[in-house]
């Protein structure tokens, strides 16, 4: 779904892009999508926010940002980039629900594309942004700004990897580590390691607290 954004009505012509993501294979795939689906010919990459900001002097026409980076997590990356560039920012994340999409937009992003979207969705997003429109993927609704506590929870949830998101969903269903390991065909020790990482990222001390944050944020 595209929607006109009063703050970004200027039309853009994208010739260059900066991908901010620490996964080389995804960067390569997204670079190919950019060059084949748009008129962009120059694509640069940065594996952390600090290196991305260093490259903003050349003013890329478009910035594509992952929410989970080595030196910054969640919506802080969006806010810091928005302070450093006037170029449209598109959040590319494996974590996608209405609250995270909405929080990203309210933090300063011009669009949001779930990380594993088909190429056609990326092309639709780029076309919308070049027209000066905001892009929200089909099936999502832009919510009004939430309370700081809910926005913080959404930001923390946005730092989870795809596998950690799956595990948290199963925890919310009340499943134990052994059951989760069976469902995902992984070792129980691997599940325990992921659960520890999930609690650390969410800033909680127990599975119950993690479930409460997930439910509070509409995870």
Low-confidence ranges of the chain (pLDDT < 70): 1-12, 58, 145-151, 217-219
> 6: which 2 tokens?
């009063």
The 8 Å CB, 24+ separation contacts for 45-50 are: 45/18, 45/19, 45/20, 45/21, 46/18, 46/19, 46/20, 47/20, 47/21, 47/22, 48/20, 48/22, 48/72, 49/20, 49/77, 49/80, 49/81
What per-residue confidence (pLDDT) applies to 7?
A: 42
CA distance 64 to 26: 12
> What is the pTM for the complete model shown?
0.69
Closest by CA to 202, choosing from 73, 99, 112, is: 73
- Residue 98's SS3 state is helix
Residue in the structure block whose two tokens are 């596998």: 163
**How is the chain split into domains, by residue range?**
2-135, 160-216
CA distance 185 to 189: 12
**Helices and strands, number each (H, E), in the chain:** 10, 9
What per-residue confidence (pLDDT) applies to 70?
A: 84
Q: What is the CATH number of domain 2-135?
A: 3.40.50.2300
Is residue 97 a contact partner of residue 160, using CB atoms and an 8 Å limit?
no
> 180: which 2 tokens?
């989760």
Cα-based torsion angle of the residue sequence 48, 49, 51, 52 in order, rounded to the nearest 10 degrees: 120
**Domain 160-216 falls under CATH 1.10.10.10:** yes
Over the stretch 140-154, which tens digit does the pLDDT of each residue have? 878 776 666 666 777
> What are the C-alpha distances in Å from 3 to residues 40, 77, 96, 111?
23, 23, 18, 10
């Amino acid at each position: 779904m595209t929607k006109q954004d009063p703050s970004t009505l200027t039309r853009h012509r994208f010739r260059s892009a900066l991908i901010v993501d620490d996964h080389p294979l995804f960067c390569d795939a997204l670079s190919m999508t950019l060059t084949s689906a748009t008129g962009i010919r120059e694509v640069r990459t940065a594996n952390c926010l600090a290196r991305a900001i260093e490259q903003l002097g050349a003013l890329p026409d478009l910035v594509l940002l992952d929410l989970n980076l080595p030196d910054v997590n969640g919506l802080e990356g969006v806010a810091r980039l928005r302070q450093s560039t006037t170029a449209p920012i598109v959040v590319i994340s494996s974590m996608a629900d209405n609250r995270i999409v909405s929080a990203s937009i309210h933090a300063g992003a011009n669009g949001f594309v779930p990380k594993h979207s088909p190429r056609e969705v990326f092309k639709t997003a780029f076309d919308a942004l070049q027209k000066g429109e905001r892009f929200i993927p089909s099936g999502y609704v832009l919510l009004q700004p939430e309370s700081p506590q809910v926005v913080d929870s959404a930001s923390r949830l946005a730092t989870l990897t795809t596998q950690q998101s799956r595990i948290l969903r199963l925890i919310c269903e009340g499943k134990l580590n052994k059951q989760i390991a069976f469902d995902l065909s992984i070792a129980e020790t691997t599940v325990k390691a992921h659960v520890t990482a999930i609690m650390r990222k969410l800033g909680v001390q127990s599975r119950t607290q993690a479930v409460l944050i997930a439910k509070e944020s509409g995870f």
